[in-house]
A and B are shown apart, each in its own frame.
Chain A
Amino acid sequence: MKLNELSLTELHRMIRNGEVRPHEIIIDVFKRIQEVEEKVKAFVTLTVDKAYEMAKDAEDFLFSGKINAVTGIPLAIKDNICTRGILTTCSSKILYNFYPPYESTVTSRLLSGKYILVGKTNMDEFAMGSSTENSGFHITRNPWDLERVPGGSSGGSAAAVVADECIAALGSDTGGSIRQPAAFCGVVGLKPTYGRVSRFGLVAFASSLDQIGPITKCVSDSAILMNVIGGYDPMDSTSVPINVLDFTENLGKEVKGFKIGIPKEYFIEGMDKEVEERVKEAIEHLESLGCIPQEISLPYTEYAIATYYIVATSEASSNLARYDGVKYGLRFEGKDLLQMYMKTRQRGFGAEVKRRIMLGTYSLSAGYYEAYYKKALQVRTLIKQDFENAFEKVDFIITPTSPTPAFKIGEKIDDPLQMYLSDIFTISVNLAGLPAISIPCGFTLNGLPVGLQIIGKPFDEAGILQLAYAYEQSTPWHKMKPVL
């Protein structure tokens, strides 16, 4: 048995029992990467030398009698999470040479637990996209079907996890960027409550929506990683000072009597029939576990995409202003300052990023602010209220993660609106700041994974994980692996 195929939960147990050494795990991981990475292309940067050093650190740590949930565990980190001294590009040419002189809060927590960094994963440039096709460097392929996208924007992380090129990974989710690729790749992706995980060191796309979360092979791995990365951080004013419970505590507990809401607005025209069937089967399965399904309504759902693309692009237009060629990253000289700015940004950013900067700049401009940005904030409040009302009746909301399974590379790249629709079930959750998970719930006839989304009340990650675990443990889906 190859160690890289195991889950974090299993490996941690084995490390604790002295059955394996971090060094052995990392050898298997890089062997696998050598075999499949050329096909999958999940990574922007592989940190081989660093990983062996870190494996050594982990072993010293263990030798001194200490252990942490991530000690000696090889993880992949999305390339928009800053790692000190390690290239961090956001898959953008504009940051092709950016080595952060600081560590993100999440990776510094992993570092104190002596994790092993495998590499930095590919993504849609600045997390803008749903297919990882918008990477400034290369396209990542879906390990289930190399002609298809892995989803996005955390496509590299999801693909690396399902291809066993790492044990688990971190992604970031602004409108579905953890959950949708997790669904497309048949793995578990958790977007925590806004404020649960520190954003310090996460290169901002849309500050009021971004959250870092785990992408894992199973639900308990997700809970374990949340234990390490979650919790208040004084460096992030928007992180919430709420005590972190042990997220694994409820795993294995009964889910009988859980009230689950099925929003009628989420089973829409044009949705893939097989996806709809798998999700309905999953709901029946949850019912068989004792959950009580109930139809609910989230009436403002139809405005979610429009609202999201105003709020997110407005914030992005400002967040991305700093890439001007003055201080770091790409610079093209010009005859004067304006020329330098224009050349640098013209050549440094890809088409989707430019499109969003323009959209956002427009929404915030004098004369349009009231009609767009301000209106969007108002609708955002209504969408939030939709969920608040729903959660008075139910404990969880169950939806498909994405209306379709993984689509073909190139299929939607020239049709941004179609591309935006692939996040239709996930973006409301970001607008409302809620936690949600995507777990595998079966396959299409083509052998493509389908994802089930469980949305919870604010800060109820433990509940979501409990329900997800109950489903996962009574279904075979998480054990399925693509053949590469």
Chain B
Amino acid sequence: MKYEAVIGLEVHAQLLTESKIFCSCSTRFGSDANTQVCPVCLGMPGVLPVLNKKAVEYAIKTGIALNCRIASLSRFARKNYFYPDLPKGYQISQYELPLCEDGYLEITVDGKKRKIRIKRIHLEEDAGKNIHDPSGYSFVDFNRTGVPLLEIVSEPDIKTSREAVLYMKKLRTILRYLGVCDGNMEQGSLRCDANVSVKPADSADFGVKTEIKNINSFKFVEKALEYEIKRQIKILGEGGKIIQETRLWDSQTGTTQSMRSKEEAHDYRYFPEPDLVPVIVSEEWINRIRKQMPELPDQKIERFIKDYSLPEYDAEILTEEKALAEWFEEAVKYGGKPKEVSNWIMVELLRLLNEDGKEIEECPVKPEGLVKLLGLVERGTINRNTAKDVFEEMYKTGRDPGSLVQEKGLTQISDETAIIDTIMEVIKRNPKEVERFKAGEEKLLGFFMGQVMKLTKGKANPKIVNELLLKILKG
């Protein structure tokens, strides 16, 4: 039987507010344990939460970008459970009446656009972090407690692990564009839980689902889901039944392991948070935020195709990161030809950044530098191959292409007499090949070109070499 997977993702995104969601403590990452805490985020007796307006604004922004309906009235609720990293014994979250509902996000799968519906987006507070010491004692770091989180819940519209990755990447791009989340999965500022089930391809009914937790990189989104889908298909294929449960992704073994069954599932006893009044979002506030919305990736792609006549593929890659798109546009502004700049970014720049694991913001080459380099090629000062080497050098040193070319003597030889001398030398060294060429084996032209380049260390202007070779060999 042919099976089909049904996947829904619950994404948690840490918001980039300066202060926590219900107190004024800093949200900075990586400080010493328990240095960014106060009685409010520690949930001490008698303290009360006060909602951070910026966090609400960021949630609304995200809701607008994901085509959601923004609720004019929404409520916070308490999610009750005991755990040492949860100082109040409940998490302030939203349950009924979330801030945003009924949106969608568009992904492109094999050239086709697909809408993944967003069920809801709500605000909540993050928990702390338990630290287990080999002594047998555990410690809690509450710095993260109360950092605002956005929970973005999709409908079960995702069919493959690849689509899940595309969804996550697109979502990350949008969040980064909005400046509401840095999207760093490894540091945990973007987290993902997945609800997975499989069903026979021709069936309309969903199968029993499992929830996969602890997926903390894009690579693992794909691997964890693939593993889980295969596991479920195998069980069903053998006539078994899927148990509704929560499973933990183990990246060491590349498997998912049972964490707790449905029977062991928490009863969170949600109820409206009496310490906070309902959040009222006026039409006027939404409109004000709408006006401040940046251009989003989909709009940018469209504009890049239209304004720069770029292929869709190029436009998509260039807009994955807002900063990359800006880098590209700046290069074009300096006079770079759009497609040429795009090629250089996609082939050379992204490869170098990838090798280093660097972001475009950290790139030592400025858009102006690339355009200068392209100018050197165009004017024939250096050839394309040399330019690639120079570009790498610029990336390593952050230096100007002009001075690099000068210093290394990379200037292309365009002087005809010098090139003729070299060609004569090549002819002298390879009499047999000259005979064969003259006998009609014209494909040997490439061989002679290679020899000339070898002797000039690649500096000869290939266009002139080509012309002269033909003239001399045929003449």
Contacts and interface: CB of A to CB of B under 8 A. Distances in A.
Contacts of B43: 322, 327
Contact of B80 (A98, A199, A234, A364): A364
Given A318-B89, A361-B269, A200 B48 contact: yes
Given A100-B44, A102-B39, A201-B46, 20 more contacts: A100-B39, A100-B45, A102-B47, A199-B48, A200-B46, A201-B47, A202-B46, A203-B45, A206-B274, A207-B275, A237-B48, A237-B49, A238-B48, A317-B80, A322-B87, A328-B44, A361-B269, A365-B269, A366-B267, A369-B269
Contacts of B80: 317-318, 321, 364
Nearest to A338: B82
A237 B275 contact: yes
B50 interface: yes
A138 B196 CA distance: 57
B45 A314 contact: no
Contacts of A202: 46
A102 B43 CA distance: 12
B46 A337 contact: no
A15 B227 CA distance: 80
Contacts of A327: 42-44, 87
A235 B48 contact: yes
Nearest to B50: A237
Interface string B27-67: 00000000000010011111111110000000000000000
17 contacts: A81-B46, A88-B45, A90-B45, A95-B45, A100-B39, A204-B46, A236-B48, A237-B49, A237-B51, A238-B48, A238-B274, A320-B89, A322-B43, A322-B87, A324-B84, A326-B87, A365-B267
A315 B274 contact: yes
A322 B269 CA distance: 15
Contacts of A207: 274-275
- Could you say which interface size class chain B belongs to? 20 to 34
Given A101-B39, A237-B51, A238-B275, A322 B267 contact: no
A104 interface: yes
A29 interface: no
A227 interface: no
B170 interface: no
A163 to B, nearest CB: 27
Nearest to A80: B46
A238 B277 CA distance: 6
Interface string A95-118: 100101110100000000000000
A234 B50 contact: yes
Contacts of B82: 321, 324, 341
**A contact face: mostly helix, strand, loop, or mixed:** loop
Contacts of A318: 78, 80, 89-90, 269, 271
The 8 nearest A-B residue pairs measured at CB: A321-B89, A364-B269, A207-B274, A208-B274, A203-B45, A203-B46, A201-B46, A82-B46
Given A322-B88, A327-B42, A341-B82, A314 B48 contact: no
Contacts of A238: 48, 274-277
Interface in A311-349: 314-315, 317-318, 320-322, 324, 326-328, 337, 341
Given A208-B274, A373-B271, A326 B46 contact: no
Contacts of A321: 80, 82, 88-90
A88 to B, nearest CB: 7
B89 A104 contact: no
B140 interface: yes
Nearest to A207: B274
Nearest to B23: A235
Contacts of A90: 45
Contacts of A104: 46
Contacts, number: 99
Interface in B60-114: 78, 80, 82, 84, 87-90
A343 to B, nearest CB: 14
Nearest to A234: B50
B346 to A, nearest CB: 51
Nearest to A360: B269
B50 A235 contact: yes
Nearest to A361: B269
Contacts of A199: 46, 48
A201 B140 CA distance: 24
Contacts of A373: 271
B39 A237 contact: no
Nearest to B276: A237
A32 to B, nearest CB: 30
A201 B45 CA distance: 7
Contact of B89 (A82, A203, A322, A366): A322
A202 B48 CA distance: 9
B353 to A, nearest CB: 44
Contacts of A203: 45-46
Contacts of A236: 48
A212 B274 CA distance: 16
A372 B42 CA distance: 31
A287 B277 CA distance: 41
A365 B269 CA distance: 5
A177 to B, nearest CB: 16
A153 to B, nearest CB: 15
A101 B37 CA distance: 12
B73 to A, nearest CB: 15
Contacts of B271: 314-315, 318, 364, 369, 373
A252 to B, nearest CB: 37
Contacts of B42: 327
Interface in A69-109: 80-82, 88, 90, 95, 98, 100-102, 104
Nearest to A377: B272
Contact of A326 (B78, B84, B274, B276): B84
B135 to A, nearest CB: 14
A201 B48 CA distance: 8
Contacts of B49: 237
Given A101-B39, A364-B269, A365-B267, A324 B89 contact: yes
A180 B140 CA distance: 43
Interface string B177-197: 000000000000000000000
Nearest to A126: B45
Contacts of A102: 39, 44, 47
Interface string A48-85: 00000000000000000000000000000000111000
Contacts of A234: 50
Nearest to A94: B45
